[in-house]
Amino acid sequence: MQRQLRLANPAVRTAVQADPVTALVGPEPVLVDEWQLVPDVLSAIKEEVDARPRRGRFVVTGSARGELDSPMWPGTGRLVPMRMYGLTEREIERRVDRSSWLASVLSGEVVPADTDDTLRTYVERALASGFPEARLQLAGNARLRWLSAYVEQVVMRDVDLVGGVKDPFRLRRYLEALALNTAGVVDDVTLIQAAGVAKETARRFERLLTNLYVIEPLPAWTSNRLKRLVLAPKRFLVDTGLVAGVLGLTTEEVMLDGNLLGRILETFVVGQVRAELALMAAPPRMHHLRTESGRHEIDLVIEIGARRLVAIEIKATSAPSANDARHLVWFREQMGASVRAAVLLHTGPTTFPIADGVWAVPIAALWS
């Protein structure tokens, strides 16, 4: 970048607020960081881009959605949005110089992988988070304190960026309820009762936390070939380290709680997949599937284009059985040739065929 306008700096912010058009004049490209603190800077960028339409003039970053949902969003046709997530295990292991295992699966090829990772090391990886400072510079209690402090910053201060709240302590309780139910299709009443808030307040809290990139829903998958599917989304905290920060979790506590263990593992895997998909040229769409009766459930249904599907189940077991793959077998039977691959991700060491057309693969394949 030739220049940086970091709007979190009060002096820079004041100057840009006074005259955003003039602030953009100078050597390019220009990084405009935390744009949501001075929303008018987007209109100034629009004017500049319209007057001199050259690619790569501005990089605009922010830690909140701000006015992205506004019908008057000035970036349409001028800015290409790119969602940035935390560090993935593939990045941390420095394996980004090769095609990913996930990319192979999306093309219909399940590449075998072996690993020394165990259930415990997966939990350790998950709780270490994808936040660069927490993951790369801290460990143990220091890391957990950093994550807890990050959560408090969001609840007490960052919410002011997207509307603010009158009672941050209730927002904190609502976030705790979400963390306990991450990777779940949980009804609103459960969250409302857990947080002790009104229905409209809960909806507002959810919007705030979504706009701050703390939570991200996983929409339900639907098809006219399958009937009586649940339409509600799954709710996820975007980083398993945030779950640890909200609930004060250690590896030992997660290992002793089967329900929480499954939720942490699924949130972790979904986070790895989500980050990989976001960087693809035409990002595939990610969903979950659940029948109304609860008889069948698929953790991830990935749509590539209009007709290709990949189904993924996530199991906290090192010795998965054919019974663990029954939902994937059912899905293949129902959807036929449109299913390019069906994979059961597990915590064991090896890859093997677990059922007709279904492969059991270690979770570590995602960064192998």
User: Strand runs (DSSP E) across 200-347, as ranges?
Assistant: 215-218, 234-237, 285-290, 297-304, 308-314, 339-346
DSSP state of 230: -
Cα gap 166→1, rounded to integer Å: 39
Cα gap 146→128, rounded to integer Å: 11
Query: Shortest CA distance to 35 belongs to which of 1, 79, 71?
Result: 79
Cα gap 193→270, rounded to integer Å: 27
Domain boundaries, the chain: 3-61, 89-367
pLDDT of the residue at 156: 84
Residue with tokens 């597990």: 346
pLDDT of the residue at 67: 53
Q: How would you write the pLDDT of the chain (368 residues) with one tens digit per residue?
A: 889 999 999 999 999 999 999 999 999 999 999 998 898 999 999 999 999 999 999 999 988 876 545 555 677 788 888 888 999 999 999 999 889 999 999 999 999 999 999 999 999 999 999 999 999 999 999 999 999 999 999 888 777 766 667 788 889 999 999 999 999 999 899 999 988 999 999 998 999 899 889 999 999 999 989 989 999 999 999 999 999 999 999 999 999 999 999 999 999 999 999 999 998 988 999 999 999 988 999 999 999 988 899 999 999 999 999 999 999 999 999 999 999 999 999 999 999 999 999 999 999 999 98
DSSP 61-117: E-SS-TTTT-TT-TTTTT----------HHHHTT-TTS--HHHHHHTT---------
pLDDT of the residue at 70: 54
Cβ 86 vs Cβ 129: under 8 Å: yes
pLDDT of the residue at 2: 87
Cβ 175 vs Cβ 184: under 8 Å: no
